[in-house]
């Protein structure tokens, strides 16, 4: 049985207003509180909710005030490339300290809709690390017909570009790892389609990234059309874990019952045999 921690992140994107995010967080926390407490090993499973920027504070406050024993955390969906200062509309990473312990960086929608290059993603990684927060680096390909080797090489190169840019911005690879870096593989061709990548593809990406970064303990998550019905397949049986360390969940996380089912599947894989 693997001792690696499993991480489940709910990315709510900009789907809900803050009041509905708070209500959803309450429903999820109520559905998981008993199960997470009963597991007796919270260090084996980490659950984070990533609400909108407007929902971060109210959701974090709710979880800490009403469900502290559940241990559910919040993550920011993004932070700015700039530091604190006269930058209208930006959210500097150091302003998230005390609110969100983790920040998603380089999500495919940010890359697509805001033109975030590897240079920008690396700069944001450096800002997140400098603030003392853990980055969740999203990597992915839009190569639906590619073979596994081609896909792995593409993601490895994307990762190298982000790491090189982070180094230029002041954060070495060692500092990224020390900050608690998590990588999420999200194939663009699978997001929102209802057809996820195969476990074989996701595991090959995980193995390839660990090899190129020389980090066998690097946590690698999968994200892209994850649903409750197939959640268990991403982890394998409790006595034989896959090479994946969790899930970045989009649409399914907007439904409390579906997200709770996904977390319960992860909990079964995280518990000792």
pLDDT category at 241 given cuts 50, 70, 90 is: confident
For residues 191 and 214, the answer to whether their CB atoms sit within 8 Å is no
**Predicted confidence (pLDDT) at residue 272 exceeds the cutoff of 70:** no
For 213-237, the pLDDT digits (tens) are 999 999 999 999 999 988 999 998 6
Average pLDDT, the chain: 94
**Predicted confidence (pLDDT) at residue 270 exceeds the cutoff of 90:** no
**Predicted confidence (pLDDT) at residue 91 exceeds the cutoff of 70:** yes
The single residue of 21, 107, 109, 203 carrying the catalytic annotation is 107
The single residue of 21, 73, 109, 186 carrying the catalytic annotation is 186
**E strand segments, the chain:** 6-11, 45-50, 73-76, 102-105, 134-139, 182-185, 220-222, 236-237, 240-241, 246-249
Distances (CA, A) of 73 to 132, 213, 225: 16, 27, 23
pLDDT score recorded for residue 167: 98
**Predicted confidence (pLDDT) at residue 68 exceeds the cutoff of 90:** yes
Biggest CA-to-CA distance, the chain: 53
In sequence order, what are the residues at sequence separation of 6 or more whose Cβ sits closer than 8 angstroms to the Cβ of residue 114? none
Q: Is the dihedral of CA 233, 198, 36, 33 positive or negative?
A: negative
Ranking 21-30, 188-197, 199-208 by mean pLDDT, the lowest is 188-197
The partner residues of 104 in beta bridges, in order of sequence, read 136
pLDDT score recorded for residue 1: 41
Mean local confidence (pLDDT), 121-125: 98
| Residue 114 among the catalytic residues | no
**Which letter, b or e, does each residue of 184-200 get, where b requires 16 or more Cβ atoms within 10 Å of its Cβ?**
bbbbbbbbeeeebbebe
pLDDT score recorded for residue 38: 62
Distances (CA, A) of 202 to 138, 172, 205, 243: 13, 26, 5, 8
Domains, the chain, in order of start with CATH, read 6-270 (3.20.20.70)
**Predicted confidence (pLDDT) at residue 43 exceeds the cutoff of 80:** no
**Predicted confidence (pLDDT) at residue 238 exceeds the cutoff of 70:** no
Ranking 3-12, 156-165, 201-210, 254-263 by mean pLDDT, the lowest is 3-12
The partner residues of 73 in beta bridges, in order of sequence, read 48
**Predicted confidence (pLDDT) at residue 10 exceeds the cutoff of 80:** yes
Cα 94–Cα 102–Cα 216 angle in degrees, nearest 5: 125
Mean local confidence (pLDDT), 173-200: 95
pLDDT score recorded for residue 183: 98
For residues 175 and 163, the answer to whether their CB atoms sit within 8 Å is no
| Residue 214 among the catalytic residues | no
């Amino acid at each position: 049985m693997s001792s690696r921690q499993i991480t489940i992140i709910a990315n709510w994107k900009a789907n809900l207003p803050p009041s509905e995010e708070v209500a959803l967080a309450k429903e999820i926390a109520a559905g998981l509180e008993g199960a997470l407490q009963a597991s007796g090993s919270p260090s084996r499973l980490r659950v984070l909710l990533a609400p909108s920027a407007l929902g971060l504070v109210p959701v974090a406050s709710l979880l800490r005030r009403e469900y502290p024993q559940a241990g559910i955390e919040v993550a920011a969906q993004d932070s700015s490339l700039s530091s604190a200062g006269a930058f209208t509309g930006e959210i500097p990473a150091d302003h998230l300290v005390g609110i969100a312990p983790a920040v998603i960086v380089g999500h495919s929608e940010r890359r697509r809709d805001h033109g975030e290059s590897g240079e920008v993603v690396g700069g944001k990684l450096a800002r997140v690390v400098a603030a003392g927060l853990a980055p969740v680096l999203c990597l992915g390909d839009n190569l639906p017909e590619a073979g596994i080797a081609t896909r792995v090489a593409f993601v490895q190169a994307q990762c190298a570009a982000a790491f090189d840019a982070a180094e230029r911005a002041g954060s070495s690879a060692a500092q990224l790892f020390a900050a608690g870096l998590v990588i999420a593989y999200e194939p663009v061709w699978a997001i929102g389609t209802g057809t996820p990548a195969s476990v074989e593809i996701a595991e090959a990406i995980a193995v390839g990234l660990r090899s190129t970064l020389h980090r066998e303990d690097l946590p690698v998550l999968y994200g892209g059309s994850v649903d409750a019905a197939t959640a268990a397949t991403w982890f394998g049986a409790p006595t034989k874990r896959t090479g994946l360390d969790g899930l970045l969940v989009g649409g399914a996380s907007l439904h409390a019952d579906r997200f709770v089912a996904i977390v319960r599947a992860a909990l079964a894989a995280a518990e000792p045999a």
